[in-house]
Amino acid sequence: MARKSFPLSKVYGLLEPGPVVLVTTAGGEHANIMTLSWHTMLEFVPPLVGCVISNRNYSFSRLLATRECVINIPTVEIAGQVVGCGNTSGANLDKFKHFSLTPRPAMQVGAPLIEECFAHLECRLTDTRLVDSYCFFVLEVVKAWRNPAVKNPRTIHHLGGGNFMVAGEKIRLKSKMK
Amino acid sequence: MARKSFPLSKVYGLLEPGPVVLVTTAGGEHANIMTLSWHTMLEFVPPLVGCVISNRNYSFSRLLATRECVINIPTVEIAGQVVGCGNTSGANLDKFKHFSLTPRPAMQVGAPLIEECFAHLECRLTDTRLVDSYCFFVLEVVKAWRNPAVKNPRTIHHLGGGNFMVAGEKIRLKSKMK
């Protein structure tokens, strides 16, 4: 698997642009995959990520039980599978098998990496205070990976109703922002 | 100003793709503008948005004091001004004047809309439970506006270190997702 360790201090640059992500959880008979767009950075270092996983989703109880997950970042090449994972439930389907995605062991958590994604964030659940109100989970990224061969990842960005925007051109502006 | 009321039930489609936004607040001698990428949807209807506004930012105390703001969504045409707003502080600068941006009155809140943006979300602060821990504010969108002349807004998406991705092509996939 073509991936390299990625500095935790740069994780924000992967999530800030708002890509659709695939969250994997372990536990049960098979690992599960959930498609998700409702996430935000909360802190640079250690990287904290907040995300919404509805209690109508199979991954909700898995994340609460295992307190671990992996945030995998896909590109347009597997957009069909990404949407497929969003339209099905792991309660009665092994999504890895069904969508021909390849699970690989993570280093620090029990949930698997998805080989077909270009970046992976191994996460531990650290704060559940807003789970009751908004199904909002606070995760700490404990290990990050990135495929260095993918220079310009064409991430996908949900516009609603089955419409997606694909990452376009890059521009550089003089900025003091991180 | 070319804008039309926008249905609250469709607000998620504006924020899900992860655009850089400009948050305006009232109070003090002049309204302020803050550039921000750390936001997420929390609920469809009424639309709830979570966002991080650091306590090192001038807007932090303004938002706490007024409990209102507007999330304005810019496009690449004003990218220079967006970065400018991110590199300066409203403590000693009227950013509207300095960056030649035009404030327009909102309908339900005291903070202004920025005319040069293509969409605007008038927000009330509804939950501050995670402000102490992460400077994370929960906002309810009470009124939304969109310029219907902008069919394919070229939103900008922060990649870190002054690099931005501009919204690219649109694709449509068969999806049961909202």
- Please report the pLDDT score of residue B29 as a whole number: 87
* A–B CB contacts, 8 A cutoff, strictly below: 180
> Is residue A112 predicted with pLDDT exceeding 80?
yes
Q: Report the distance separating Cα A49 and Cα A141, nearest Å.
A: 7
Quote the tokens at residue B69.
């703001």
Ramachandran category for residue B69: left, alpha or beta (phi over 0 → left; psi -120 to 50 → alpha): beta
Return all residues near B54 (Cβ < 8 A) that are at least 6 apart.
Answer: B60, B135
> Is residue A175 predicted with pLDDT exceeding 90?
no
Confidence of residue A174 (pLDDT cuts 50, 70, 90): confident
Tell me if chain B has a CB within 8 Å of the CB of A128: no
- Across the interface, whether the CB atoms of A38 and B52 are under 8 A apart is answered no
Enclosing H/E stretch for B123: strand B119-127
Q: Report the distance separating Cα B130 and Cα B115, nearest Å.
A: 31
Quote the tokens at residue B106.
């909102």
Q: What is the longest distance spanned by two Cα atoms in chain B?
A: 50
Q: How much is the mean pLDDT over chain B?
A: 95
- Across the interface, whether the CB atoms of A40 and B51 are under 8 A apart is answered yes
Q: Report the distance separating Cα A93 and Cα A97, nearest Å.
A: 8
Q: Report the distance separating Cα B55 and Cα B67, nearest Å.
A: 15
- Please report the pLDDT score of residue B1 as a whole number: 61
- Please report the pLDDT score of residue B169 as a whole number: 96
Q: What amino acid is encoded at A29 in this protein?
A: E
B17 → chain A, closest CA residue: A157
**B41 vs chain A: nearest CA distance in angstroms?**
6
Quote the tokens at residue B35.
């550039």
- Across the interface, whether the CB atoms of B16 and A39 are under 8 A apart is answered no
Contact residues on chain B for A158, CB-CB shorter than 8 A? 13, 16-17, 177
Query: Using one digit for the tens of pLDDT, what is the confidence trace for A143-153?
Result: 999 999 999 99
Which sign, positive or negative, has the C-alpha torsion B3, B8, B9, B13? Answer: positive
Neighbours of B5 (CB within 10 A): 10
pLDDT, average across residues A126-130: 98
Confidence of residue B96 (pLDDT cuts 50, 70, 90): very high
Of A115, A108, A137, A141, which is closest to residue A33 (Cα–Cα)? A115
- Please report the pLDDT score of residue B93 as a whole number: 95
Q: Report the distance separating Cα B16 and Cα B34, nearest Å.
A: 19
Of B5, B37, B3, B36, which is closest to residue B108 (Cα–Cα)? B5
Are B96 and B104 in contact, with CB atoms under 8 Å apart?
no
- Across the interface, whether the CB atoms of B171 and A156 are under 8 A apart is answered yes
Query: Using one digit for the tens of pLDDT, what is the confidence trace for B126-168?
Result: 999 999 999 999 999 999 999 999 999 999 999 998 999 999 9
Q: Report the distance separating Cα A121 and Cα A142, nearest Å.
A: 8
- Please report the pLDDT score of residue B25 as a whole number: 98
> Is residue A118 predicted with pLDDT exceeding 80?
yes
Phi, then psi, of A25 in degrees rounded to 5: -130, 150
Q: What is the pTM of this model?
A: 0.96
> Between B18, B172, B173, which is nearest A17 by CB?
B18
Which sign, positive or negative, has the C-alpha torsion A64, A70, A76, A78? Answer: negative
Enclosing H/E stretch for A71: strand A68-73
- Please report the pLDDT score of residue A22 as a whole number: 98
pLDDT, average across residues B55-74: 96
Neighbours of B147 (CB within 10 A): 19
> Between B13, B80, B168, which is nearest A173 by CB?
B80
Tell me if chain A has a CB within 8 Å of the CB of B177: yes
pLDDT, average across residues B8-27: 96
